[in-house]
Structure 1
Amino acid sequence: MYDIAALIVRVVVGVIFVAHGWQKWQSGLGTTSAGFAQMGVPQPQLAAAFSTIGETVGGALLIIGLLVRPAALVLLIGMVGAIVFGHWGKGIFVQEGGWELPAALGSVALLFLALGGGRLGLDGIIHGSYRRRARQRAAEKASAGRPAPGHREDTLPIHRDEQPGYREGTQPGYREEPPNPGGYGDTRSGYQEERPQSGHREDTQPGYREDTGQGPQGETRHTVPRQPSGHRSDALSPEDMRDLDALIGDEHRRPKPPNR
């Protein structure tokens, strides 16, 4: 909002100053210096040149928004001199030669000296370009001093056994077999299950009855419960397997009765 208001005030006040400065140029420096001498201005020739050039050039700079603060300072000095040497003691109103006009114009010049002419001018454009370049250079310096993403200079190679949560045998593809002491199919105990031949069943032999243990020709057989071929959690221990092997060995060594 200030930028728009400053632009409007700059143009209006700049036109007023240019008009007064051009009027002095039209009258000539001699006439202007003579008038300043009548008002008691010291060094009237120098003051006339300063006032004429300052109002004309300073007003034009206000309009285009270039060097607003230096131009406002020159115009403020000129208005203070006009109030002190030309209009002081004559009241406020312009018709009576009062100080209202130079006071108003000097106040506007003071405002521009303090706050500047806003961004809607050549000063705003130039300063904005400088600020953008400064921010860009600062960003480039910051990015140059910043390490690349994922890069850490204080990191060293870590062995597998030093990694957090590392356990031997937990790598992908490793599978630890559960212990199966003495069970069927356990090759570590030296025992292998003897599987019956295809189509053979002990309980289908002629004359065999499981409840009496009598086989063919009255042969006494020790029945052994059939065990499932798969792995069971209640598998026989190695001692039970040795007892079972001894029992089967005694049966084979026992002489058979003669055929009747």
Structure 2
Amino acid sequence: MEDGVIGRIWRWLAEAPDSAPAATILIRLMAGGVFLWEGVIKFVFPNQGVGRFTKIGIPFPELSADFVGVLEIIGGTLLLLGLCTRFVAIPFIVEMVVAMLSTKIAMFYGVSPLPLPASPPQTGFWAVLHEVRSEYAQLLTVTFLLIVGAGPWSLDGLIARRKKRRPI
């Protein structure tokens, strides 16, 4: 299995590249910070967690909101530290795609159970573009981190540098 497709994917995910620019830390701080505080908010303000998941029809809203909240707190912290960055990026990519599909399609058609934006447009293409900005930004940041890794100013980078110095 080690030489198979799954083995190659696992190695690619686990072996942090050290070629990402140092400025990658800015992307990590943005994505990690947003995920961390959004996870905390799901527990501090239940209407943003269970309440929102119930309104949009997510199955098992209590369990789902708690799961996503814990994922965001732990994953956001790992992104801030730059540890297991590529592994953490994958569930966040899935989360952002689900968030966009579960909320923005209904908004496009004007049937969203969530409150509509305060100012026009409230439905349709332009309303969706306006409202999707947060998920879109988070989706692109974690996709970037999946591709380039955490960068040199990270625990992933530190581990990669130490592995290079150690003879095998």
TM-score by length of 1: 0.46
In structure 2, distance between residues paired with 1:84 and 1:4:
33
The match for 1:34 among 25, 32, 51 is: 51
In structure 2, distance between residues paired with 1:132 and 1:102:
39
Specify the alignment match of 1:91 in structure 2: 128
The match for 1:3 among 6, 13, 21 is: 21
Name segments (4+ residues, structure 1) moved above 4 Å: none
The one-letter amino acid paired with 2:63 is L
In structure 2, distance between residues paired with 1:25 and 1:37:
15
Specify the alignment match of 1:106 in structure 2: 139
Q: Alpha-carbon deviation of 1:83?
A: 0.4
Identity of paired residues, percent?
27
Matched residues, number = 130
The one-letter amino acid paired with 1:77 is V
Question: Matched residue of 1:91: which SS?
Answer: helix
The one-letter amino acid paired with 1:75 is F
In structure 1, distance between residues paired with 2:39 and 2:57:
20
Specify the alignment match of 1:211 in structure 2: none
Q: Alpha-carbon deviation of 1:69?
A: 0.9
In structure 2, distance between residues paired with 1:47 and 1:103:
21
In structure 1, distance between residues paired with 2:92 and 2:36:
11
Residue pair 1:3, 1:120 contacting (<8 A) in 2 also: no
The one-letter amino acid paired with 2:87 is P
Residue pair 1:68, 1:116 contacting (<8 A) in 2 also: yes
Specify the alignment match of 1:217 in structure 2: none
Q: Alpha-carbon deviation of 1:50?
A: 2.2
Residue pair 2:53, 2:65 contacting (<8 A) in 1 also: yes
More helix by share: 2
Q: Alpha-carbon deviation of 1:57?
A: 1.3
TM-score by length of 2: 0.70
Residue pair 1:69, 1:113 contacting (<8 A) in 2 also: yes
Residue pair 1:3, 1:117 contacting (<8 A) in 2 also: no
Specify the alignment match of 1:248 in structure 2: none
